[in-house]
């Protein structure tokens, strides 16, 4: 969880810096939304690479009771 906390701290610092620089609030919101999205992608990628979030495909059972009929 240290990575998540570090990234959260960096996003908070970015928000403070943008506001201190006088960036328009709507632009700040857009930038922070992009940063949050990138952060989530980074955390998911980190978890997958560490093996913490392995996705195993579920087997699909194909049972065909009736063959498909063609439309006229």
Q: Are 41 and 4 in contact, with CB atoms under 8 Å apart?
A: no
- Residue whose C-alpha is closest to residue 27's, from 36, 15, 39, 42: 15
Reported pTM: 0.63
Q: Where are the domains of the chain?
A: 2-50
pLDDT digits (tens, 9 = 90+) for 13-67: 999 999 999 999 999 999 999 999 999 999 888 888 877 555 565 666 655 555 6
């Amino acid at each position: 969880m240290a990575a998540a906390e570090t990234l959260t701290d960096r996003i908070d610092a970015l928000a403070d810096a943008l506001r201190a620089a006088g960036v328009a609030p709507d632009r700040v919101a857009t930038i922070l939304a992009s940063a949050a999205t990138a952060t989530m992608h980074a955390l998911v990628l980190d978890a997958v690479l560490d093996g913490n979030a392995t996705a195993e495909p579920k087997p699909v059972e194909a049972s065909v009771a009736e063959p498909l009929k063609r439309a006229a």
